[in-house]
Amino acid sequence: MPPAAPAPVHALVRFAPEALLADITALLDSYQASIIEGAKGGLFKLQLGDGPLSKADADSLIEKLAREKIVKLAVPAP
């Protein structure tokens, strides 16, 4: 059986209450991200980009996302 292909990067994100839709849309565009599950307990599951990244690159990208002004929480999704 061939090894499983690496999956795209997923993150759980909570946006700041003051985040405007235009701000969220711009952030999604800048990270080439899409919302794949919405607002369970205030968290959105995002897919970042459309291809797999190494664990180090994925962690770095999620850390960068967590530092965005309109993001209150960003962690790797299980």
Distance between CA atoms of 65 and 75, rounded to whole angstroms? 9
Distance between CA atoms of 73 and 19, rounded to whole angstroms? 13
Three-state DSSP class for residue 5: coil
What's the pTM value of the predicted model, to 2 decimals? 0.85
**pLDDT over threshold 70, residue 2:** no
Answer for the pair 5, 50: CB distance below 8 angstroms, yes or no: no
Tens of pLDDT, residue by residue over 8-39, are 899 999 999 999 999 999 999 999 999 999 87
